[in-house]
Amino acid sequence: MQRKSKTLFTRRDFVRSSGLIAAAWAAPRAFASAAANALPPATLDPSTLARFVDPLPIPKTAQPGGTRPSPVDASLKLRYYRLAMGEFESRVHRDLPPARQWGFQGGSPGPTIETRSGEGLLVEWANELPRRHLFAVDHNLHGAGRDKPEVRAVVHLHGAKVPPESDGYPENWFVPGKSALCYYPNRQQAAMLWYHDHTMGINRLNIYAGLLGAYILRDETEDALGLPRGDREIPLVLCDREFTPEGQLSYEVSPDPDAPWIPEFYGNATLVNGKLFPYLDVQAGLYRFRLLNGSNARFFDLSLSSGQSISQIGTDQGLLPAPVPAKRILLAPGERADLAIDFRGHGGEQIVLNDDESKEVMQFRVVRGPSSDRLSLPPQLRPITGIPESAAVGTRTLTLNEYDDPKGNSMLMLLGGAYWHMPVTENPTLDTVEIWSLINLTEDVHPIHLHLVRFQILDRRPFDRFAYFATGELRYMRAPLPPDPTEAGWKDTVRALPHLVTRIIARFEGYPGRYVWHCHILEHEDNEMMRPYEVLPRSATVGVASHATDAHQL
Ligand code: C2O
Ligand code: CU
Ligand code: CU
């Protein structure tokens, strides 16, 4: 069943009235195109389903299968995990038949990997997927030609500082029956990272099928804060999906069967840890929620029906300097938010987590009665020292571009005007600091993610796009805007807002070698909005670095 792609008509920004950042935030709104009305509904309408009848599932913690010698020091034994990607069926809602999905160890999200800062581990990612894809592959996309096997996979650990061989380079995919052993040193601060597929040209389809999971890193600084733990600390992995009336996952295609790619996918159903409209029983106490937006393209704008404020305590790359109270939590694809919610004083209430003010996502059922909970949120979390601009060896000016067909449908997105296959242009030297200045020439918000590094957002600044198009000259229109307090920590994904120049600053520490940077809207990423970048060893002068300098070769 094919419908006209609604996203072609609705991708332009919806402008909010409150303030510039919020205005440019632009959560896309769906409306049906007139042309689509003639066709019978091909999708399940989630509003016909009973709400809050399934308990929220909590992904299992991954269990190691013994130890293996460390690739850097054979006398050291590291925990070894084997996580298999495969097809499975599970009910996303009590009243729906089981849905066919892909996941890890029979689940999506896959098992949560738990570890501590400085404790390296090994994961063997095994491809045990079937040989046919669940969704239509677009063979026009780079790296997904007809000469490539239909089912391929490679796993990336988003937010991790890892040697290049273990980073899940998009071209290092492997077919069913094969596996890849990855080494994660975990030499970084406490944060919630996430693992997901990263296969060239079909990443959007593989992640949509369910190939993602959480990875929680802890450290002593975090331990010392006494934040809620155990059953008071809950990962919430949010993904928007669309289902057929029979309850099977469906992924929208374009009207052209030979070119099924669509510019963005928006589903009408939000899964939380793999369930639709789940509920969670909570005590009238303090909870910690680790949120991840694992959607292909959807931006979440989350709030509580009780109107109470939420404390954001961490960003993508860990704790903020202090809790930031917020009524709304904005989350772009790939971003994480570490939240504390205090249910004290809400005994007996049923509190709904909404997206976009009124779209129900899940429910918290607070038990009746007073709570003996004496936990409180520390006023200070982890100090963050800003990287001074003066520490940077230079600024890279990089455009975000989008090209439309004559009808105004977007066809292609590029970073710095370059295609994936073109030579590397971003090549910072190991341990140097750089500023990346992202000039968004499009009408969309693009969540830009860099592998390997964490960064800080310096500012966002409106510029004259017409002058830029006419003369190539960057003319600023207003003073720069500082990052929102909720993003004023360590980040690995930044929302590059339309009509603004977004500046980030990063120290390229870790390992020399080949990594990628890209837009985390997966449809964009699969259609050229991804570029390789190369961290050059300190001794290198110009040109492409040699991988031979990496002591962590597996
Ligand atoms: Cu979340 Cu390149 O990845
Ligand atoms: Cu990543
Ligand atoms: Cu994008």
- DSSP annotation of 546 reads P
pLDDT exceeds cutoff 90 at 16: no
pLDDT value of position 371: 75
Q: Is the CB of 156 under 6 A from ligand 1?
A: yes
- pTM (predicted TM-score): 0.91
- Tokens 């303090």 identify what position? 286
d(CA 492, ligand 1 centre) in Å: 9
Tell me how crowded residue 388 is: count the other CB atoms within 10 A of its CB: 9
Closest approach atom of ligand 1 to CA 159? 1
pLDDT tens digits, one per residue of 530-553:
999 999 999 855 544 433 333 333
Q: Give percent of the chain with pLDDT exceeding 70.
A: 90
pLDDT value of position 408: 76
pLDDT tens digits, one per residue of 307-326:
999 999 999 999 999 999 99
Average pLDDT over residues 490-511: 97
pLDDT value of position 410: 77
Ion ligand 3 contact residues with beta carbon within 5 A = 446, 519, 521, 524
- CA 237 – CA 240 distance, rounded (Å): 10
Q: Is the CB of 532 under 6 A from ligand 1?
A: no
Q: Give percent of the chain with pLDDT exceeding 90.
A: 86
Q: Is the CB of 449 under 6 A from ligand 1?
A: yes
Q: Is the CB of 514 under 6 A from ligand 1?
A: no
Return the ligand number nearest the Cα of 522.
3
Return the ligand number nearest the Cα of 519.
3
- Phi and psi torsions of 221, nearest 5°: -60, -45
Task: Please list the residues that pair with 534 across neighbouring strands.
Answer: 514
pLDDT value of position 103: 98
Give residue 375's pLDDT band: very low, low, confident or very high (50, 70, 90). confident
pLDDT tens digits, one per residue of 334-369:
999 999 999 999 999 999 999 999 999 999 999 997
Tell me how crowded residue 132 is: count the other CB atoms within 10 A of its CB: 8
pLDDT tens digits, one per residue of 270-292:
999 999 999 999 999 999 999 99
pLDDT value of position 462: 97
CB-based contacts of 114: which residues, under 8 Å, 6+ apart? 61, 62, 216, 218
pLDDT exceeds cutoff 60 at 8: no
pLDDT value of position 286: 96
Task: Give the full edge-to-edge strand order of the sheet including 54-55.
Answer: 54-55, 278-282, 359-366, 350-355, 300-304, 329-331
Tell me how crowded residue 82 is: count the other CB atoms within 10 A of its CB: 17
Calculate the CA dihedral of residues 251, 253, 258, 259 and round it to 10 degrees.
-100
Type and span of the H or E element at 25? helix 20-25
- CA 369 – CA 439 distance, rounded (Å): 53
Type and span of the H or E element at 216? strand 212-218
pLDDT value of position 539: 80
pLDDT value of position 541: 53
* CA atoms within a 13 Å half-sphere pointing along the CA-CB vector of 307: 0
Give residue 2's pLDDT band: very low, low, confident or very high (50, 70, 90). very low
Return the ligand number nearest the Cα of 525.
3
Regarding beta strands 155-158 and 110-116, do their DSSP bridges make them parallel or antiparallel, or are they unpaired?
A: unpaired
d(CA 310, ligand 2 centre) in Å: 27
pLDDT value of position 311: 98
Nearest to 192 by CA among 68, 89, 339: 339
Provide DSSP, 476-529.
B-SPPBPPPGGGSS-BSEEEE-TTEEEEEEEE--S--EEEEEEESSHHHHHTT-
pLDDT tens digits, one per residue of 110-146:
999 999 999 999 999 999 999 999 999 999 999 999 9
pLDDT tens digits, one per residue of 433-486:
999 999 999 999 999 999 999 999 999 999 999 999 999 899 999 999 999 999
pLDDT value of position 540: 56
Q: Which two tokens stand for residue 519?
A: 């837009």
Query: For atom 3 of ligand 1, which residue has the closest CA?
Result: 158
- CA 259 – CA 264 distance, rounded (Å): 14
d(CA 100, ligand 1 centre) in Å: 24
Closest approach atom of ligand 1 to CA 518? 2
Q: Is the CB of 451 under 6 A from ligand 1?
A: yes
- Phi and psi torsions of 476, nearest 5°: -80, 145
Amino acid at site 544: V
Query: Residue 117: exposed, middle, or buried by beta-carbon count in 10 A (0-12, 13-18, 19+)?
Result: middle
Q: Is the CB of 196 under 6 A from ligand 1?
A: yes
Q: Which two tokens stand for residue 464?
A: 């004259």
Asked whether 222 and 278 are in contact (CB, 8 A), the reply is no
Q: Is the CB of 198 under 6 A from ligand 1?
A: yes
pLDDT exceeds cutoff 90 at 190: yes
In 3-state terms the chain splits into helix, strand, coil percentages (rounded to 5) of: 10, 40, 50
Q: Is the CB of 204 under 6 A from ligand 1?
A: no
Nearest to 457 by CA among 426, 496, 431, 428: 496
Asked whether 167 and 515 are in contact (CB, 8 A), the reply is yes
- Phi and psi torsions of 290, nearest 5°: -105, 100
Give residue 14's pLDDT band: very low, low, confident or very high (50, 70, 90). very low
Prior bond to 109 cis, omega within 30?
Answer: yes
Nearest to 521 by CA among 546, 542, 538, 496: 496
* CA atoms within a 13 Å half-sphere pointing along the CA-CB vector of 3: 20
Return the ligand number nearest the Cα of 317.
2
What rounded mean pLDDT belongs to the chain?
90
pLDDT exceeds cutoff 90 at 374: no
Provide DSSP, 336-390.
EEEEEEE-TT-TT-EEEEEETTTEEEEEEEEPSS---------S-----PPPPGG
- CA 289 – CA 275 distance, rounded (Å): 16
Amino acid at site 398: L
- Phi and psi torsions of 381, nearest 5°: -110, -95
Query: For atom 1 of ligand 1, which residue has the closest CA?
Result: 158
Nearest to 401 by CA among 416, 420, 383: 416
pLDDT tens digits, one per residue of 35-77:
444 455 589 999 999 999 999 999 999 999 999 999 999 999 9
Calculate the CA dihedral of residues 420, 210, 178, 62 and round it to 10 degrees.
120
